[in-house]
Amino acid sequence: MRLTGERLWFGRGRRQSNPWRILALLLMIGAGVLLTRLVEAGKVRPLVFATPLPTRSAFSYTEQGRAYFSAGDIEAAIDAYESAVALEPANSRLWAELARIQTYSSELLTNTERRRARLAEARQSVDRAIEVNGEDAFAQAVRTLVYDWSASAEDDARLNNEYLSTAVASAIRASQLDPDNSLALAYYSEVLSDQQKWVQARDLIERAVTSLESEPNAQDDTRMDIYRVYGSVLESLGYYRLAIEAYEKASRITPNLTFLYLSIGVNYRQLRQMDTALDYFNRAVQINEQLGIADPVPYLAIGKTYAQDGEFFIAALNLAQALLINPSEADIYGRLGIVFYRARNYESAIPVLQCAVEGCSAEESQALLCELGYIRCDPDAGPVEIAGRDVRGLILSSDSLEYYYTYGSALAFQSGAPGYETACETAEEVFQQLLAGYGSDPIVTGIVAENRNICARAGAPPSPPSTETLPAPSQATPTP
């Protein structure tokens, strides 16, 4: 090795320690230990750690709601839209779409109070839409629908006028925001029809239809609304065949909405084409069966059709089926009682109408269903069916008026028969309520006077009740 005389270093030079650097390193180590312990305790989630459940967007729920609505499952559609607005509460379109579906769902409710409650929910939803964005033409249009239907469901004249005024104001505002909005024109037409302004209503809806049909690529399911309103206006004018054509167009857009088939059936019933009407009502039953929906409304339509044709036996069977779907519904008891009364089966009519007018307990309704043979109550024939429910009597109103005076009439006709010694006393209580509420109605006062005369002759033999008995629904031939 060649030596040069230079100084050789056999080790690294030692630099002086920096205390700040040491402090920073200690802090980093401490933070790492603390973070590790927080992760282990579950208080901190790693950045790339998967969420336990998939996160859904409002758009996803909206698409699901639209699919449910088109499929005819309106209650499921409402649930989906409620989830959507919970995620996007500032979206006026979603609130308006929810209100529209809530309004249509009220058509499938048989009880007036429940229908009004559902429409109140729709008003809350659409008012929320307007609160979020009052310049949304679609929301203003839907508000027209909601408040128009709310007005139609009210007996109170003040509320009726208030809701109609709101509907008109929203229709005008929607047209101002979007003059070519065919949906707003259609809903305004429905308002005018309800106000019996027939010429204006028809002009507006025909404008809406023309506008719609000039857009061949339109795919929105609100096209159904325009044809539905067109059918409704034509029906109000008595053009039943044209109304059927309009409802048929609506049903081709949304083929699983049962209320469209019910509307078609009603118009065929107006034309006295009972078999065709029953076909459409039965189609509604089949759609509900496919969707697993227990809906009494189609059975009520079928029962009414048979009753109008004098087929009280089959009418009662279908009304009984509706009652078994919803055994707490006083309105269905009332409809069934009317059928018994028209069949001159006063003994069955009285307890059924009593349940509708005065209400009955779960034990009483169970006993009544057993007595009528609509449920299995003999333990020797198999497990006893429990279907009785508490039934709250209907308040006297335009919707329940017929049940009240028919109940009083049945009691009067049956007075004097064994077991009905106090029938006229009960009937008189009903007559007093009728006169207090509808004493200015000549039809009501005439019915009361006639039945009071019958009670005055209570010593005479009553009209013979029908000997026809009605079997349980399970024993009946399937309704066409």
CB 296 within 8 A of CB 319: no
d(Cα 295, Cα 318) in Å, to the nearest integer? 12
Are residues 185 and 153 located together in one domain of the fold? Answer: no
pLDDT of residue 22: 66
What's the CA dihedral at 290, 294, 296, 299 to 10 degrees?
A: 30
Within-domain flag for 37? no
Residue 13 belongs to a domain: no
Residue 314 is assigned to a structural domain of this protein? no
In a domain, 342, yes or no: yes
Domain boundary among 111, 146, 178: 178
* 16 part of a folded domain: no
pLDDT attached to residue 10: 42
Kindly state whether residues 210 and 157 are assigned to the same domain.
no
| Largest Cα span, the chain | 152
Three-state DSSP state, 339: helix
Asked whether residue 168 is domain-assigned, the answer is yes
Helices vs. strands in the chain: H and E counts, helices first: 21, 2
CATH code for position 65:
1.25.40.10
Other C-beta atoms closer than 10 Å to the C-beta of 193 total 23
Number of structural domains (the chain) is: 3
Q: Tell whether 401 and 350 lie within a shared domain.
A: yes
Residue 42 placed within a domain: no
- The SS3 assignment for 366 reads helix
- Same domain, yes or no, for 353 and 285? no
Residue 256, domain member (yes or no): yes
Report pLDDT for 87: 94
Domain shared by 405 and 474, yes or no: yes
Indicate whether 140 and 163 sit together in one domain. Answer: yes
Q: Name which of 266, 301, 272 is nearest 285 in CA terms.
A: 301
Query: What pLDDT does residue 36 have?
Result: 65
Residue 469 pLDDT: 41
Within this chain, do residues 133 and 194 fall inside the same structural domain, yes or no? no
Is the distance from CB of 99 to CB of 122 less than 8 angstroms?
yes
The tens place of each residue's pLDDT in the chain, 480 residues long, gives 444 444 444 444 455 556 666 666 666 776 666 666 665 655 555 554 445 555 678 889 999 999 999 888 999 999 999 999 999 999 999 999 999 999 999 998 888 888 999 999 999 999 999 999 999 999 999 999 999 999 999 988 899 999 999 999 999 999 999 988 899 999 999 999 999 999 999 999 999 999 888 875 556 788 999 999 999 999 999 999 999 999 999 999 999 999 999 999 999 999 999 999 999 999 999 999 998 989 999 999 999 999 999 999 999 999 999 999 999 999 999 999 999 999 999 999 999 999 999 999 999 999 999 999 998 898 877 788 888 899 999 999 988 999 999 999 999 999 988 989 899 999 999 999 999 999 999 999 999 999 999 999 875 444 444 434 444 333 333 333
- The verdict on pTM exceeding 0.85 is no
Final residue of a structural domain among 124, 143, 178? 178
Instruction: Give the integer Cα–Cα distance in Å for 173 and 336.
Output: 45
Last residue of a domain, one of 178, 202, 231: 178
Range of the domain at 84: 55-178
Rounded distance, CA 136 to CA 131, Å? 10
